[in-house]
Amino acid sequence: MQKNIRNDFPILKNDIIYFDNASTALKPLVVLQSIDDFYTKYTSNAYRGSYFNSEYVSLKIDECRELIATMLNCSSSEIIFTANCTDSINQLVRMLNIKKRDKVICSQLEHHSNILPWLNNSNTLIVNVTTDGIIDLHNLEDLLKNNQIKIVSISALSNVTGNVQPIKEICNISHKYGAIVNLDCCQYVPHYPIDVKKIDCDFITLSAHKMCGPSGLGVIYGKKELLLKCRKNKYGGGMVDRIVDSRNIRYKEIPYCFEAGTPAIENILGFASAVRYYLSIGYDNIMEINKELNDYFYEKIKNSKTIQLLFPISNCHAPIFTFKFKNKNLNLNYVSRILSDSANICVSAGYQCCQPLYNSIKEKGGLRVSLQFYNTKKEIDKFFEVIDNLKI
């Protein structure tokens, strides 16, 4: 199966060992073809023209909304397109009308995109993380009990540690105290399926490019009853039903009232192909392959003489590993460049936009390997062969 999957990704023909999937995932040919199709056959604006191409791409955008809704188990009217996950979270701050005095809970595991929008607009409290690398649910409950918390915004899967958070429990506890929950699922959906009804989360934010889709597209899922109460996050064309006069403006229904401006049509069409591609492989297969890669890499790194993990690995873990060199204070960007120049291996070096997490262990960054279902054990062997024999 893996051999066939690799054939779907044109870039893999270049003999590259791509281990930076948490940064952005590779794109299968079907995604590239959808983008190409839009420009070569259907260029037009969506929701604005009464001619074939425009009506066709409008339908295709709504088809993508349906696909994402099927994937998350929600209604397509609960899916809002944005520019990326960062944009989704910033828009959410405006939609929820967050004020400086409002209390919000995040953790030190958050990507800068899920901490800076809250730090800059609210009174943000930081929940503890246990020594196993997951959210301390007792501390979460204490914070909720002792403060009037408006929103808990937590990443479901850390882009640095790879640990999966107890998202169902986080939602249950937060709802007990009347708080709204946003799950930053940027890293979660590329690895695991999510059923928003079962988890009972209020919002989900994600980026298409992390799950084999194009960059320039993000998503907000929001529970309908909450979206109906949200403020408009921006104003402009495409969101208007009717302007009677300047004091009587009627907006379209959700989700269109949150999508002012021309949508990223080619990216939405490309993402529809990525979602179809994901569903055609099946999350069960993706999880099985990734578990094998995870266990294989974990065994190798535990036995490595050269590198050591920086963060604890919890029971439920996606194949994302961050490490440093034992007994060596190497410039990580330099090492990353050597891996690239000598063996065409791509890894991430630095803080991975999670500086508070590194500050908490007094480290100045790490090297990160993040794997996806198209990676192989052979690539992992090659990586350790190179890293264990680095002459620096």
Ligand X SMILES: Cc1ncc(COP(=O)(O)O)c(C=O)c1O
If one asks whether residue 114 binds ligand X (CB under 6 A), the answer comes out as yes
State which residue, 155 or 290, has the beta carbon closest to ligand X: 155
Collapse the DSSP code of 117 into the 3-class scheme (helix H, G, I; strand E, B; otherwise coil) and give the result: helix
State which residue, 210 or 300, has the beta carbon closest to ligand X: 210
If one asks whether residue 372 binds ligand X (CB under 6 A), the answer comes out as no
- Strand arrangement of the beta sheet that strand 307-309 belongs to: 307-309, 320-325, 366-370, 348-350
State which residue, 267 or 375, has the beta carbon closest to ligand X: 267
Please state the closest distance from residue 361 (CB atom) to ligand X, in A: 18
Collapse the DSSP code of 167 into the 3-class scheme (helix H, G, I; strand E, B; otherwise coil) and give the result: helix
Please state the closest distance from residue 35 (CB atom) to ligand X, in A: 17
Provide DSSP, 24-43. -----HHHHHHHHHHHHH--
Provide DSSP, 247-294. TEEEEPPTTGGG--S---HHHHHHHHHHHHHHHHH-HHHHHHHHHHHH
> What is the distance in angstroms between the CA of the first residue and the CA of the last residue of the chain?
38
State which residue, 165 or 294, has the beta carbon closest to ligand X: 165
- The contact mask relative to ligand X for 291-330 (x = CB under 6 A, - = no) is ----------------------------------------
65, 111, 317, 324: residue in contact with ligand X (rule CB under 6 A): 111
Rounded to an integer, what distance in angstroms lies between the CA atom of residue 344 and that of residue 366?
Answer: 19
Count of residues engaged in binding ligand X, rule: CB under 6 A: 13
As given in the structure block, the two tokens for residue 193 are 């399926």
H/E element holding 308?
strand 307-309
Selected range binding ligand X among 10-18, 106-114, 125-133, 246-254, rule: CB under 6 A? 106-114
Q: Which of 85, 201, 230, 353 is catalytic?
A: 353
| 353 given a catalytic annotation | yes
Residues 120-159 interacting with ligand X (rule: CB under 6 A): 155, 159
Please state the closest distance from residue 241 (CB atom) to ligand X, in A: 30
Residues 60-99 interacting with ligand X (rule: CB under 6 A): 84-86
Residues 157-196 interacting with ligand X (rule: CB under 6 A): 159, 184, 186-187
Rounded to an integer, what distance in angstroms lies between the CA atom of residue 182 and that of residue 205?
Answer: 7
Rounded to an integer, what distance in angstroms lies between the CA atom of residue 210 and that of residue 98?
Answer: 27
Residues identified as active-site: 353
> Which residues would be at the binding site for ligand X (CB under 6 A)?
22, 84-86, 111, 113-114, 155, 159, 184, 186-187, 207
